């Protein structure tokens, strides 16, 4: 991903965005990633001379969505996509706060975490009777995405941690395989949420928990 000036990164802390490209990390950044030996399913890279554990605070930036070129639809309802972003941000917050202080603004001794759902392939949206969306079928809480009507076919996760003042990259990461909850044929947004929770829990415990 082309890096924005740090002031622009700060401006993106709250909104969620969907973009035309299918990846957050640029090809040369993906080439730096290596499997994390202690955390199967995760690939990461730590910049030379950098150590994320030296930071005591983290601010979580925007959750962005990148669609695959062959996705059958790229139309995400704003309310549902906002709840998906909130759920994923909640997972990151809950896991990070076990080890560091999660803050609202960049500053000294603070990492900026940016994450994206990438290579998204969505099937055509389900439609309610008469073309409206029954309230009971939308995402109802930030903690559970099993009710989402955004029908998912494929997705992956990519992200970065940068120094919130200088913008220097500290670490990059990628989750290429979203684990499905059971033997069902359909990948769901709840699978994305639970995969992130599992990997964030294991990765942070390995990095910070000793």
pLDDT attached to residue 126: 52
pLDDT attached to residue 78: 81
> Strand runs (DSSP E) across 123-151, as ranges?
none
pLDDT attached to residue 88: 94
Other Cβ atoms closer than 10 A to 119 = 19
> What is the mean pLDDT of each successive set of 10 residues along the chain, which is 210 residues long?
46 49 89 92 95 95 89 80 91 95 95 94 58 36 54 89 96 92 76 93 82
pLDDT attached to residue 145: 64
Is-contact 129 70, C-beta < 8 A? no
Domain assignment present for residue 1? The answer is no
Sequence-distant (6+) residues with CB within 8 A of 61 are 9, 12, 13, 112, 113, 114, 115
**How many structural domains are present in the chain?**
1
Domain assignment present for residue 183? The answer is yes
CATH number of the domain at 125, please.
3.30.160
pLDDT attached to residue 142: 36
CA distance 20 to 153: 17
Domain assignment present for residue 10? The answer is yes
Q: What is this structure's pTM?
A: 0.80
Q: Tell me which residue range forms the domain holding 190.
A: 6-208
Sequence-distant (6+) residues with CB within 8 A of 135 are none
Domain assignment present for residue 165? The answer is yes
């Amino acid at each position: 991903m082309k890096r924005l000036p740090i002031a622009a990164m700060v401006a993106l802390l709250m909104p969620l965005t969907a973009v035309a490209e299918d990846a957050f990390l640029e090809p040369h950044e993906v080439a730096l990633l290596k499997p994390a030996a202690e955390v199967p399913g995760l690939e990461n890279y730590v910049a030379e001379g950098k150590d994320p554990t030296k930071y005591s605070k983290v601010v979580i930036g925007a959750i962005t969505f990148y669609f695959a070129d062959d996705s059958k639809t790229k139309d995400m309802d704003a309310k549902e996509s906002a709840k998906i972003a909130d759920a994923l941000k909640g997972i990151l917050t809950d896991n990070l706060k076990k080890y560091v202080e999660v803050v609202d603004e960049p500053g000294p001794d603070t990492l900026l975490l940016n994450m994206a759902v990438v290579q998204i392939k969505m099937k055509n949206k389900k439609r309610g009777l008469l073309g409206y969306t029954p309230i009971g079928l939308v995402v109802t809480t930030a903690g559970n995405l099993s009710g989402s009507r955004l029908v998912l076919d494929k997705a992956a996760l990519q992200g970065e941690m940068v120094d919130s003042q200088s913008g220097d990259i500290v670490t990059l990461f990628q989750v290429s395989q979203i684990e499905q909850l059971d033997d069902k044929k359909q990948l769901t947004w709840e699978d994305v949420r639970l995969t992130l929770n599992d990997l964030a829990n294991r990765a942070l415990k390995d990095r910070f928990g000793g």
